[in-house]
Chain A
Amino acid sequence: MPLTSFEIEYAQKVLGRKLTKEELILLEAEWSEHCSYKSTKEHLKKLKTIAPWVLIGPGRDAGAIKLFEDVALVARIESHNHPSAVDPYNGAATGVGGIVRDVLSLGAKPILLVDALYMGSLKTRHSQWLATNIVKGIGDYGNRLGIPTATGLTWFSKSYEKQPLVNVACIGLTKPERILSGKVKPGDPIVLLGNTTGRDGFLGSSFASKPLDEKDIAAIQVGNPFIEKLIIDALLDAFDKNLLSHVKDLGGGGLGTAIVETAAQNKVGVTVYLDKVHLREPDLEPFEILASESQERMIVIPKDSNRLNELFKIFDKYEIEYSIIGHFSSEKRVKMFFKNRSVVDIPVELAVSPPRISRKVSAPVSSFEVPFPTDVDIEKTLISVLSSPRVSLKKAVYEQYDWGVGGRTVLPPGYGDSAVIWLRDGSKRGFAVSVRGNPRYVKLDPFTGAALSLGDAYRRVSAVGAAPLAALDNINSGNPEKPNQHYYTVKMIEGLAYASEILNLPIIGGNVSLYNEDEKGSMIDPVTSIMVIGKIENITKALGVVPVGDSPLVLIGKTEPELGGSEVQEVILGDVYGRPPVFRADTEKKLASFAKKVSEKELAYAAHSVSIGGIAVTVSKMAYWGNVGITLNSLAICECSPFEALFSESQARILYEVKPESLQEFLSLAQSYKLKASVIGHTLRNEKTIRVQHNGKEVIRLDLSKVSESLEALEKTL
């Protein structure tokens, strides 16, 4: 997005002269929403980011926690929404490429990818085309890197028909003392590594900071996962040999941004010779070189310039191109030259300090309640809910992802509430990851909606037996210049701040994607994706979702008739009304400690957090996964109507299949945590039906084959 005339005047006043073309381009990238967070910075300060185990909080290219005394876990999440709307295949693929390079930038080995996709109805050719290509793009790129995509979230709604949201996250591992310091000093040479620089992807970051326009299609980048894989392998070799002090992705804003941010963080200046950059087209202009967003490029700063040859030997082995393009300096200015001509000469401070702007917010009119029709057929409703693309199985998506490469995947997609990943280091230690987001709850109440997603991911990580340690957020929202849209951004951040504080879960990184509007300037449904990471001492005790049968089903947590923003509401009424479920922080916390104990003591066969679609969906999926029948007593779930009992989306609930011999111990454990525990039914090995009783009357009797057919609905459309 071009600088405003106010911003240009501000810069020229500071400099006391006119900006050069190159300076203008540099500031345009630096001061874009994507790089400067100018509309959200003041709000993001409210997030809880500190805990004793946090090694690196927000601010660097990725965050890091001490997972174990000798293991650091590095993570980052980012959106690639705008590029994916124009070229879904390459847009999504290059999103993966960028996030992996961010994790590399702390010196970690990337070992897990996670995606959160919000796509269209799948009822139009366009939304099918977008969805198919986004999934293929993520798969083709991630699979080639040898990094498993082992968990994710896939949402479908007509709000995303033409503007999908593509959020991708990456997790890496290293030793705490091996995290790159990021420190550079005057005199350090700057090495540009990777792909040649070309005209492709020119000014993509400002492209991500404004509403989509057909003209922007010049900014298309084709991903090259093969080069990315070579960069990963080469950098891991260089990390092993302790050759590097700083590595940074050339992402939004290209070379200019990466260099300026490094200089600013280190309070040094920088001199760059743009004609030293290895180019794809020889006739590139200097402004194009500094702002090009050609993919698969990084800057690397050697720890010791006397060992440059060792570094270059590694790059030569992998046949990756590189060039020395300049050095850091003590004069705190950004200086760029092209063929001996000065093209940029501005203070570093100016480049990273856009003039303050203040954005206004205005609350929308509050939503109203709409009752359900009185004659709803509960069995037919269940079938409709199970075949809704949001609920039905995502095999068509995750089977295209290599979720198992690395040999670390203990609970692959479809087997657990979170991905459970083994460190594969001779021990049985590991970690769990879940990503959640719910545009419906956000639509009704952005504060609660964001908090609920954090609670949901926190609970899913707990359900497998992990101890939640950190979260990352990706806010996808509307135009910050429009107060009624910016309201959602600010409220989601506030909801996150509240929830992270009360759950004692530091947020170690995040991303804000704004200007997600349709061609008419209306906001598409905003949402915050939350990824939660937890640690597991013994992955062999991780609890999956597959039941074994002939065992009691125990629901932990309280069910209230909460149907606002629910799946059943959207399926029956076509939209959402009222208030989302209450965020029950206290129960969530107790539940998390309880769940960890259950897995440690091995009291249960299976655990499944109750999510969209309520208990009805929870039991149907468990029946499907275990190929078992299930019988339920609706009144044991809730003293309410069977409709409410089955479809309520009350939070802070986990359904367990408990080992019959451990039932007493399980129930007393729940009691000791002051958690409500109700035996609501049984799993059955020999009877392949789902039966629900209410007051002695059978309200549902559904063959497992019918359940399977409904749950597999998505495979036919995607």
Chain B
Amino acid sequence: MSIYKILLIVSYKASARDPEGETIAHELKSLGYKEVIKVRVGKAFFFDIEAKDKEEASEKIKKIAFETKLHNPNVHDIMVISIV
């Protein structure tokens, strides 16, 4: 067992609205940053977690997120990223 660093990002599903991202994108464009096409906002969780390997660490995070409702699968997508 060793300790892995995992980043979990919870954001609204692509099919759902993201008022915060939409507002920020709109305001950035009106400031002159025309190259900004779209902004999506999410919540990031940085975990240090014990596991056999990277894959198991990611699986554990997914399980925890689901069981504890860190995200609502009805409306959110999650991204689980292993970081070094």
Contacts and interface: CB of A to CB of B under 8 A. Distances in A.
Interface in B1-40: 12, 15-19, 22-23
B69 A129 contact: yes
B74 A227 contact: no
A120 to B, nearest CB: 14
B17 A86 contact: no
A220 interface: yes
A221 interface: yes
Q: Which of B18, B23, B69 has the most CB of A within 10 A?
A: B69
Interface of B: 12, 15-19, 22-23, 68-69, 72, 74-75
A294 B19 CA distance: 12
Interface string A181-207: 000000000000000001110000000
Contacts of A129: 69
Contacts of B12: 222
The 9 closest A-B pairs by CB, nearest first: A224-B19, A222-B17, A217-B74, A129-B69, A220-B75, A222-B16, A87-B75, A86-B74, A87-B74
19 contacts: A89-B72, A125-B68, A125-B69, A198-B17, A200-B17, A217-B75, A218-B15, A220-B75, A221-B17, A222-B12, A222-B17, A222-B18, A222-B19, A222-B75, A223-B19, A224-B22, A225-B19, A226-B19, A294-B17
Contacts of B19: 222-227
A559 interface: no
Contacts of B17: 198, 200, 221-222, 224, 280, 294
Contacts of A89: 72
Contacts of B18: 222
A90 interface: yes
A80 to B, nearest CB: 15
Contacts of B23: 226
A220 B16 contact: yes
Interface string A221-249: 11111110000000000000000000000
Nearest to B16: A222
B23 to A, nearest CB: 6
A198 B13 CA distance: 14
Interface residues of A, number: 21
A222 B74 CA distance: 12
Contacts of A280: 17
Nearest to A216: B74
Contacts of A200: 15-17
A199 B75 CA distance: 14
A129 B12 CA distance: 18
Nearest to A217: B74
A224 B75 CA distance: 15
A604 to B, nearest CB: 47
Interface in A96-122: none
A280 B16 CA distance: 11
Nearest to B74: A217
Contact of A199 (B15, B22, B72, B74): B15
A475 B72 CA distance: 29
A594 B78 CA distance: 60
A185 B84 CA distance: 67
A222 B17 CA distance: 6
B73 to A, nearest CB: 9
Given A89-B72, A218-B15, A224-B17, 20 more contacts: A86-B74, A87-B74, A87-B75, A129-B69, A198-B17, A199-B15, A200-B15, A200-B17, A217-B75, A220-B16, A220-B75, A221-B17, A222-B16, A222-B17, A222-B19, A223-B19, A224-B19, A224-B22, A280-B17, A294-B17
